Amino acid sequence: MRLRLTILTALLALAALPGFARSQGVSAGNMNMPNLGRLAGSTVNRPATNPGDPTLNINDTFAAFLDSAIPRNIVGLRFDSSYDNRQPARATYLFPRGGVAGGPGFLLPETRVNTIDFTSYAEYSLDTWFSVFIEAPYRWVNPEVNGNQSGAGDMRYGLKICTWTEDNFLATILLRVYQPSARTETLGTGHWSIEPGLLAAYRFNENVHLEGEFRYWIPLTRDDFAGNILRYGLGLSYGQRNPYRLWYAPVVEGVGWTVLSGKTVVASSPDSFVIQEARNQTIFNASLGLRFGYGRNTDMYIGYGRAFTGHTWGRDMVRVEFRYVF
């Protein structure tokens, strides 16, 4: 609980810092406490409306497995397939505990799960520095022991607040809420969750972009299987959007998770399983993909990811995404 409050307090402090500094007239070299007039909305370059506005070179992001730090107007469709999840109930991050007396979810202890998620999402910038978003997944769950299921998954929605900008850098506060709205318990987690986070983007030059995230997932349940999870990642891309022709940008990403509490079920068969502490388990995935498009507003991503640790959410992953920015 103390760690949870410390992280939430730090994130709120980061969000409030720029406003305080502006009120005090703070300036550090060529660091601009943001006039946020060109951060959000369309990725189309806009002329500055005020000669004193900072020049913001970052108006697009290319990573697929990381959250974008730019508040903007966007709609998209995302297809995910994940294979060989051997501990699906770990910390109830993806599934509720199942096959355990009194637990929701799978009827029998599960040895392996493959999943497919088809997610539609939309983000709308209410102001140039602030946006809200919603994500609606449809899931296909293919367990090895229990029966297959499909249907609507848990809804997710939240907001982004850009709190810091300079010429080649921006940082954004994220808050995501997970609603247990799945058609059945095995298509979701069975509980509410919240996920505050810090997103960032840095542009080395016109072609090289670095993106990062730090997120803290908090399940809102008294289930002792549920646990807090840290998520962190970096992504590097090469390329830029061409407003008049076909363009492409290769992307490499690394994402990690560290489980801080909770439990997991390790099963070799429905009749042979043990319950273990999930605390301190770390998972790391790396992915390689290509984002490409034509013109300013539409693009597509195709990529493959693989787990490089003994603990996994899925050994192999495939992601295909279509986005329209307006």
Q: Answer yes or no: are the C-beta atoms of 292 and 248 closer than 8 Å.
A: yes
Which amino acid belongs to residue 157?
Answer: Y
Give tens-digit pLDDT for 28-46: 333 343 444 333 333 334 4
Q: Which two tokens stand for residue 37?
A: 């007039």
CATH number of 35-46+54-325: 2.40.160.40
β strands within 97-129, DSSP E? 113-127
Classify each residue of 88-113 as buried b or exposed e, where b means 16 or more C-beta atoms within 10 Å of its C-beta. Answer: bbbbbbbbbbbbbeebbbbebbbbbb
Q: Answer yes or no: are the C-beta atoms of 141 and 113 closer than 8 Å.
A: yes
Give tens-digit pLDDT for 261-296: 999 999 999 889 999 999 999 999 999 999 999 999
DSSP 148: P
Give tens-digit pLDDT for 227-268: 999 999 999 999 999 999 999 999 999 999 999 999 999 999
